[in-house]
């Protein structure tokens, strides 16, 4: 009888199962799905929250309860992280620069998602403390909003872009340093 069989008989599971449980971490989502992730994966490296759990060297740590994240959104976060970390984008995100600064796989990833799903992914990324994913989601949302016609945004979100006099004066007061420095930059700031 081999050592694996002995361990299996003694502890009720095989050595392979024991080793696998040391190399993975289990996450239980809001909809109670269990997802196992390799402790050495990009996802764990990129999520400060999950990495801190794995860095404790507590291989018998209880399952990680992700009460704010559905399995669908967690799987998207895992998929995004397959490409590894990237440099954070410089702010502000300008519409014409976005396509040049972002990896092609990232653009394709976000373009296949509904806008509301990207918003949910942004919320999940902050919960996971994944700075790269937060930056990517926020940048894509900003890019999408900037390229969407004002009328579409007004209709979609039931908002008005017409400013009252008090709102206009408030903006002028807030950005007066731009007006004094360069009047055209003020106009550019309020238009973007």
Listing from the earlier edge strand, what are the strands of the sheet with 34-38? Answer: 34-38, 24-29, 64-66
pTM over 0.85: no
Q: Where do the domains of the chain lie, and which CATH numbers do they carry?
A: 3-161 (3.30.710.10), 162-192 (no CATH)
Closest among 31, 32, 72, 67 to 49, alpha carbons compared: 67
Angle between helices 71-81 and 104-111 in degrees, nearest 10: 160
Q: What is the pLDDT of residues 32-87, one digit of tens each?
A: 999 999 988 999 999 999 998 887 655 566 689 999 999 999 999 999 999 888 88
């Amino acid at each position: 009888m081999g050592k694996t069989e002995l361990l299996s008989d003694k502890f009720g599971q095989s050595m392979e199962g024991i080793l696998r449980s040391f190399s993975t971490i289990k996450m239980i989502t809001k909809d109670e799905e269990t997802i196992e992730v390799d402790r050495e994966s990009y996802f764990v490296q990129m999520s400060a929250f999950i990495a801190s759990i794995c860095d404790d060297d507590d291989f018998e740590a209880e399952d990680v309860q992700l009460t704010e994240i559905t399995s669908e959104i967690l799987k998207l976060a895992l998929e995004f992280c397959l490409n590894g970390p990237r440099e954070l984008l410089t702010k502000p995100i300008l519409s014409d620069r976005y396509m040049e600064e972002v990896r092609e796989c990232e653009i394709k990833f976000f373009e296949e998602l509904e806008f509301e799903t990207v918003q949910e992914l942004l919320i999940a990324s902050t919960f996971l403390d994944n700075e790269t994913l937060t930056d990517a989601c926020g940048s894509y949302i900003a890019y999408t909003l900037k390229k969407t016609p004002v009328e579409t945004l007004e209709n979609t979100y039931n908002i008005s872009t017409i400013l009252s006099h008090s709102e206009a004066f408030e903006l002028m007061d807030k950005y007066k340093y731009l007006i004094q420095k360069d009047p055209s930059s003020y106009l550019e700031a309020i238009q973007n």
